[in-house]
């Protein structure tokens, strides 16, 4: 999936867009997320925001758990109407030192 770089102190929405191969319409019933560090420790979880065919969460690097040079994985779990399997896409986030503005 995707990779994002965020500066320490930055907050950004991280998410995925779901599309049906056949192009037909569908409804996302439920979506949640979990954030893991590089050692697979769970740092944060909750209900994801659903907007049409997009699912996202607010990744806020100001949280104490997020370190500079840290690598984090945001795993989404998405339930779609009449689909027997759940989707589990993952986004990777790299937290960098904030650049000084001169």
pLDDT in tens, 66-99: 888 889 999 999 988 877 677 777 777 777 766 5
- Region of residue 29 (left: phi > 0; alpha: psi -120 to 50; beta: else): alpha
| Distance (Å) of CA 72 to CA 47, 59, 97 | 18, 10, 15
* Residue 13 and residue 56 in contact, taking contact as beta carbons nearer than 8 Å: yes
Rounded to an integer, what distance in angstroms lies between the CA atom of residue 37 and that of residue 26?
32
Domains of the chain are 3-96 (2.60.40.1930)
Report the percentage of the chain scoring pLDDT > 90.
38
Tell me the whole-structure pTM to 2 decimals. Answer: 0.81
């Amino acid at each position: 999936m995707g990779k994002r770089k965020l500066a320490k102190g930055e907050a950004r929405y991280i998410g995925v867009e779901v599309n049906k191969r056949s192009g037909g319409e569908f409804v996302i019933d439920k979506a949640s997320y979990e954030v893991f560090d590089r050692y697979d420790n769970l740092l944060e979880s909750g209900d994801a925001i659903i907007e049409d065919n997009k699912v996202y969460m607010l990744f806020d690097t100001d949280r104490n758990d997020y370190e500079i040079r840290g690598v984090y994985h945001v795993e989404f779990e998405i339930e779609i109407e009449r689909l027997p399997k759940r989707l589990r896409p993952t986004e990777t986030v790299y937290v960098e030192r904030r650049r000084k503005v001169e």
